[in-house]
Amino acid sequence: MYKKILVPLDGSERAEAILSPVEDMAKGFGAKVLLLQVQEEPLMLGYDEVIEESTNHQQKQRKRQVESYLTGIEKRFQDKGIETKHYIGYGPVAGTILIVAEKDDVDLIALASHGLDGSYRVMCRSVAARLLQSADCPILVMRNNNDDPI
């Protein structure tokens, strides 16, 4: 039924709660798992070479961290015989997820309902809502036990 499953992650344990169910589904369907972490572009309000160089360095460092993180999860799936690929996307979170889903012709987007606490929940709710409203494929949203409803 599902041949490609897209799993957006934000690096948090709560977001990773979706990984075990996805692993089971991938094994059961023989599906390929596509891991994705989206980095929003920093807002540059003015031009300053010092700030720009510092920001550029931080972005490169962050990209290395994300690459290492996704490679580790990818290896975990591959060690269990599940074909896996990872992406780092840049831009608005929901929009980037939708672009990757369409570009890779995924059959399912699977995510946990909230990655972080606090005001970030509002953004997560809007990401899940946007995916539910706009995606051309089914969406699996797993609610964590200690989350508020979406």
* Domain boundaries of the chain, sorted by first residue: 4-142
Q: What is the pLDDT of residue 33?
A: 98
Rounded alpha-carbon distances, angstroms, from residue 60 to 55, 56, 63, 67, 131: 9, 6, 5, 10, 28
Q: What is the pLDDT of residue 116?
A: 47
Tell whether the model's pLDDT for residue 149 goes beyond 60.
no
* The CATH number, out of the four listed (3.40.630.30, 3.90.550.10, 3.40.50.620, 3.30.565.10), of the domain defined by the range 4-142: 3.40.50.620
pLDDT digits (tens, 9 = 90+) for 84-108: 999 999 999 999 999 999 999 999 9
pLDDT digits (tens, 9 = 90+) for 33-92: 999 999 886 655 555 555 566 677 788 888 999 999 999 999 999 999 999 999 999 999
